[in-house]
Structure 1
Amino acid sequence: MTSMTTTSTTPVPGRRDDGPIGAYVTALGHALRGPRAARRDVTAELADGLHDAADAYVEAGMPEREAQVRAVRECGPVADVAAEYAPELAAVQGRRTAAVCALSMPATVLAWGLTWRAELPSTPAPHRQWRLGVLSDLTDWAGIAGGAAGCVLAALLVVSARRVVPVRLVLALLVILCGGAVLVSTACSVVMNVANAELIEWMLAGSSAAVALSLATGVISAWQLASLCRSANLAFRRG
Structure 2
Amino acid sequence: MAHTGVSDPIADYIAALSARLRGPSSAKADLLAEARDGLDDAAEAYAAAGHPDPRGRAVAEFGDLTCLARAYQAELGVAEGARALKSVLVAVPVMHALWQTNQLVWIGSWSEYGGPVPEWYRAVADVNDWIGWVVMGLAGLALLAGRLLSRRGVETRRLGRAAGFLGAAGSFVLLLNLVVLLTATASLDMSRLLMPLPCLAVGAGMFIVHGRILVLAHRSLKFTAG
Q: Which is worse superposed, 211-220 or 99-108?
A: 211-220
Tell whether the 8 Å contact from 2:186 to 2:192 is kept in structure 1 after alignment: no
Q: Structure 1 residues 222 and 200 mapped into 2: Cα distance closer, same or farther (>3 Å)?
A: same
Q: Distance in 2 between matches of 1:101 and 1:231?
A: 15
Q: Which has the higher helix share?
A: 2
Structure 1 distance, partners of 2:184, 2:3, is: 61
Contact 2:102 2:198 in 1 (8 A): yes
> How far 1:75 moved relative to its partner?
0.7
Q: 1:93 aligns with which of 80, 101, 118?
A: 80
1:139 and 2:128 correspond = yes
Which residue of the partner structure matches residue 181 of structure 1? 173
**How far apart, in 2, do the equivalents of 1:194 and 1:15 lie?**
68
Closer, same or farther in 2 for the Cα pair 1:127/1:41, shift >3 Å?
Answer: closer
Aligned amino acid, residue 154 of structure 1: L
The 2-side partners of 1:68 and 1:170 are apart by 38
**Residue 148 to residue 191, structure 1, CA distance change in 2 (3 Å):** same
The percent identity for this pair of structures is 24
**Aligned ranges 1:161-200 → 2 under 5 Å:** 161-166=150-155, 167-168=159-160, 170-175=162-167, 177-192=169-184, 194-195=186-187, 196-200=189-193
State the one-letter code of the partner of 2:98. A
SS in structure 2 at match of 1:171: helix
Question: Structure 1: which amino acid aligns with 2:95?
Answer: T
Between the aligned partners of 1:126 and 1:174, the Cα distance in structure 2 is 37
Structure 1 position 19, deviation (Å): 1.5
Matched, 1:35 2:27: no
SS in 2 for 1:62: coil
Separation in 2 of the partners of 1:69 and 1:151? Answer: 45
Partner of 1:153: 142
Counterpart Cα distance in 2 of 1:168 and 1:214: 30
Number of aligned pairs?
Answer: 218
**TM-fit CA distance, 1:197:** 3.7
Query: So what's the TM-score if we normalise by structure 1?
Result: 0.75
Q: Please point out which of 50, 53, 56 is paired with 1:61.
A: 50
**What amino acid does structure 2 have at the position aligned with 1:171?**
A
Relative contact order higher in (CA < 8 Å, ≥ 6 apart): 2
Over 3 Å counting, the alpha-carbon distance change for 1:145 and 1:125 in structure 2 is: closer
